[in-house]
Structure 1
């Protein structure tokens, strides 16, 4: 079990700002708050990309209320499509697609996670396969996809790993630093960012 101990009191939250290498896509949110260290890593990643490529951020901090808004429809959909499943099995499967808002919540609730993808300087998004946030088989980062999509996913993961962030394997777009997922992937016993609200 990974221990979660908040290391910032109060949390050092800042706001993402657009630049010529970092775009904000308001499709999911207009709340661009994130922990300063995470913002700095994302900005460093964007600045290190090859000329003509940029990062496009879709979501950063997420309140517990917003996490419930995402969680409840997923649970309802999985329950409807699998009427014979136990509550525990529905919970486990739902947790693959959206972090449960209870307990330690998601990296987004800690201000430690960001959903993003690569784009061109003209804001054209690169192809990554399937819908971002879609409950589909192609969402896992290592799912078999076309060579173009594989190259785009691999480039994004390598760039984010290069600044110390980790990818959630079931969502090619989700990266975090300092939360429970990061601690698990980096084989640490403790995460240092806890949910904020």
Structure 2
């Protein structure tokens, strides 16, 4: 369980809709779909309607500072089945990176789960504790420049390391690392005025209206009454 799972959810029933891919940059092919993640034939580039609208507002803020730059969507709505697939895949990749063979000891499995769940939300089917991406209110995002080239941000999205912390390079004296920090800050400065909140451990992850968003809002404002307005996506919130 994550600390934000204690936040109540009162879903407003807003539908999940396709993102305007003619206006936003996207990763193609979709990185998880390319691995075989089970999206059930549906586009992974979908979000709750107001969240998608807020992305366009965030991009407008970005272009005030960097004309021609765009937000690039790495991942958006993620069904719980996809969350499970990616957690299993990441556990396997991390185990291989550490050189651990099966069967794992109890301590090895504990360490592996601790490392992966530091970044990945548990693939819970409990409606009171959905993964942020499974609400349609979270997005993984980066920047592309006016030539359509990805902007270097210091790590790849999903890197399981302390370098993924948004402020990891803040105190660096290295010119390249200073630039990475500036561009991470630029991304956050575009997203926050549109209502998004950044994940404390991931420079690329932003939420608007889910439990993580509400928890971060409570931390900043001290208001204990802020709740989530998006829970797990259901048939009623899936736009045809």
TM-score, normalising length: structure 1: 0.87
**CA 3–136 in structure 1, closer or farther in 2 if over 3 Å, else same:** closer
Aligned residues of 1:118 and 1:125 also touching (Cα < 8 A)? yes
Root-mean-square deviation over aligned CA pairs: 2.3
Aligned residues of 1:4 and 1:194 also touching (Cα < 8 A)? no
Match of 1:138 in 2: 163
Aligned residue pairs, count: 195
Identify unmatched segments of 5+ residues in structure 2: 34-42, 219-223, 235-240
Paired residue secondary structure (1:190): coil
Paired residue secondary structure (2:73): strand
Q: Where is the strand percentage greater, Structure 1 or Structure 2?
A: 1
Matched, 1:59 2:72: no
Q: C-alpha separation between the residues in 2 aligned to 1:192 and 1:93?
A: 29
Aligned residues of 1:179 and 1:191 also touching (Cα < 8 A)? yes
Aligned residues of 1:111 and 1:196 also touching (Cα < 8 A)? yes
**Displacement, 1:89?**
5.3
Q: C-alpha separation between the residues in 2 aligned to 1:175 and 1:65?
A: 21
Identify unmatched segments of 5+ residues in structure 1: none
Aligned residues of 2:153 and 2:183 also touching (Cα < 8 A)? yes
Matched, 1:196 2:233: yes
Within a 5 Å distance, the mapping from 1:76-155 to structure 2 comes to: 76-78=92-94, 81=98, 85=107, 90-102=112-124, 103=126, 104-144=129-169, 146-155=177-186
Match of 1:165 in 2: 196
Matched, 1:18 2:34: no
**CA 131–17 in structure 1, closer or farther in 2 if over 3 Å, else same:** same
Match of 1:2 in 2: 6
**Displacement, 1:86?**
6.7
**Displacement, 1:90?**
4.3
**Displacement, 1:92?**
3.7
Q: Select the structure of larger CA radius of gyration.
A: 2
Q: C-alpha separation between the residues in 2 aligned to 1:57 and 1:34?
A: 11
TM-score, normalising length: structure 2: 0.73
Q: C-alpha separation between the residues in 1 aligned to 2:187 and 2:147?
A: 18
